[in-house]
A = this chain, B = another copy of it.
Amino acid sequence: MDWCFEQRVVAHKCLPFGIRIACARLCWRSLALLCHAMCSGYQLKDFTVVTAPRTKTIDDIASMAGVSAATVSKVINNRPYVSAEKRATIERVIAETGFVPSQRARGLSKRRSFILGLLIPYTSDQLFSDPHLLECVRGIESEVNAREYNLLLSTARAPSEAASACVRLLRTDVIDGAIVLETHDLHQFSAMLGQRTGPLVFIGYPQAAAIPAVHADDYGGALAAMRHLLGAGHRRIGIISSHLRPFAIEERMRGVADALAEAGLMNDPALVALGDFSPESGEAAARALLGLADQPTAIFSLNDRMALGAMRAAAALGLHIPADLSLVGFDDVALAALATPQLTTVRQPGFALGAAAARLVFGLLDGVPLSASPVIPTELIVRGSTAARRAERA
């Protein structure tokens, strides 16, 4: 059996001196002994490396200010029953020493970590390159910073992975609550939801009931977009939808249907083409729509990327936008404003969504009972890609 360092044994066996290495916190002297022994071929076993202790603790501040730690705590937490002079003294000492309490210890006592989790299940990488996400994060951050919280980022490749990561983060006390960006299948989450501790809010449409969520007014946005086109005199409006049907798309389609009904128009299935959100699929869908005998005079694409593809298709077919064809997108991605002509579209309220989600989590943390899921309004941005319908066969 190899010789080894074991706490109690070190002193007797390996080291000829009368000094024992009592604890893992090595002083220079014991360190030297250790080095010597290790150079002689001994192995270390059952040892731990501890990092340096805190430079200043609340007790130091307390003794410097001539009070007890409890009083310092009161001052730090801005609580009553501290005389003005003591408070001033303590505040001065804190300012002088630049003392900041340890969130680790604080969290243990207060049973809060002051950290919110942000879970991004990015099955598709585009999520990150999506400026909408940046806006969401900014919105979340603004609320989080206002409450002196922090934001923990966790991305996961698969939704199931995200669900377990989320539960783990919550159960290990790392975070106080979490915001989850919409996932196609929330089933994964709902299965693990019972195991969690702490609030969870989704940005998107909750498919399971009783899951707090915030979402944009997709319905209203689509309604506004369609009304805009209908108001401009368009009667045959092509729709570029998707064969993938997340809730947001369903809602937008509902808005489309209602707008058509409002105008007394039929919902002609021939005028609906399906894509997969990519520009290429949008181009193909637009070609299909424009190839109809009774060509539509306007197209509403349910996302911007497909609308940009439709723009290409129109150009290829020699159609001028907006003279020959009006085009409306959805999302207001950065490219929408850079395209020629600039794309009329419905803006996603990213910042507001993020902020609302964060507020919801904080509310839940504070015990505010959950009310209805907030719906954040969308905004129609009218730019150069839409115009009044030209007179018939002009």
A128 interface residue (CB < 8 Å to B)? yes
A107 CA / B172 CA spacing, docked (Å) = 11
A176–chain B nearest beta-carbon distance, Å: 9
A98 interface residue (CB < 8 Å to B)? yes
A36 interface residue (CB < 8 Å to B)? no
Which of A55, A102, A110 has the most chain B CB atoms closer than 10 A to its own CB? A102
Contacts of A104 in B (CB 8 A): 104, 107-108, 111, 113, 173-174
Which single residue of chain B is at the shortest CB-CB distance from A120?
A: B137
A51 CA / B134 CA spacing, docked (Å) = 32
Which single residue of chain B is at the shortest CB-CB distance from A111?
A: B51
Contacts of A318 in B (CB 8 A): none
Instruction: Establish whether residues A141 and B112, one from each chain, have CB atoms under 8 Å apart when the complex forms.
Output: no
Pick the interface stretch among A64-72, A151-159, A255-263: A151-159
A197 interface residue (CB < 8 Å to B)? yes
A264 interface residue (CB < 8 Å to B)? no
A150 CA / B119 CA spacing, docked (Å) = 12
Instruction: Establish whether residues A195 and B115, one from each chain, have CB atoms under 8 Å apart when the complex forms.
Output: no
Which of A52, A112, A113, A150 has the most chain B CB atoms closer than 10 A to its own CB? A150
Which single residue of chain B is at the shortest CB-CB distance from A153?
A: B153
A276–chain B nearest beta-carbon distance, Å: 16
A152 CA / B103 CA spacing, docked (Å) = 14
**Which of B100, B107, B111, B172 is close to A168, meaning CB atoms less than 8 Å apart?**
B100
Contacts of A197 in B (CB 8 A): 55
Contacts of A101 in B (CB 8 A): 172
Instruction: Establish whether residues B154 and A150, one from each chain, have CB atoms under 8 Å apart when the complex forms.
Output: yes
A110 CA / B24 CA spacing, docked (Å) = 12
Which of A45, A130, A137, A172 has the most chain B CB atoms closer than 10 A to its own CB? A172
For window 141-177 of A, CB contacts with B under 8 Å fall at: 141, 150-155, 168-169, 171-174
Which single residue of chain B is at the shortest CB-CB distance from A131?
A: B129
Instruction: Establish whether residues A174 and B103, one from each chain, have CB atoms under 8 Å apart when the complex forms.
Output: yes
**Which of B80, B112, B169 is close to A51, meaning CB atoms less than 8 Å apart?**
B112
**Which of B102, B152, B171, B172 is close to A172, meaning CB atoms less than 8 Å apart?**
B102
Instruction: Establish whether residues A152 and B155, one from each chain, have CB atoms under 8 Å apart when the complex forms.
Output: no
Which of A129, A130, A366 has the most chain B CB atoms closer than 10 A to its own CB? A129
Instruction: Establish whether residues A103 and B172, one from each chain, have CB atoms under 8 Å apart when the complex forms.
Output: yes
Contacts of A107 in B (CB 8 A): 104, 107
Contacts of A118 in B (CB 8 A): 153
Q: Beta-carbon contacts of A189-206 to B below 8 Å, as 1s and 0s? A: 000000101000000000
- Decide: A138 near B155, CB < 8 A? Known: A129-B131, A150-B174, A173-B104: yes
Contacts of A81 in B (CB 8 A): 46
Which single residue of chain B is at the shortest CB-CB distance from A45?
A: B80
A80 CA / B80 CA spacing, docked (Å) = 49
A16 interface residue (CB < 8 Å to B)? no
A225–chain B nearest beta-carbon distance, Å: 24
Contacts of A111 in B (CB 8 A): 50-54, 104
Task: Kindly list the 10 A-B residue pairs having the minimum CB-CB distance in the complex, ordered from nearest.
Answer: A153-B153, A128-B134, A102-B173, A104-B107, A104-B173, A51-B111, A103-B172, A104-B108, A103-B174, A151-B153
List 12 additional A-B contacts (Cβ < 8 Å) besides A54-B111, A107-B107, A152-B153.
A50-B111, A54-B173, A55-B197, A100-B172, A101-B172, A103-B174, A104-B104, A104-B173, A125-B134, A128-B134, A152-B152, A153-B153
A to B CB contacts below 8 Å, 18 in the list: A45-B80, A46-B80, A49-B367, A51-B111, A52-B111, A54-B111, A54-B173, A100-B172, A102-B172, A103-B173, A103-B174, A104-B111, A108-B108, A125-B131, A125-B134, A128-B137, A150-B169, A152-B153
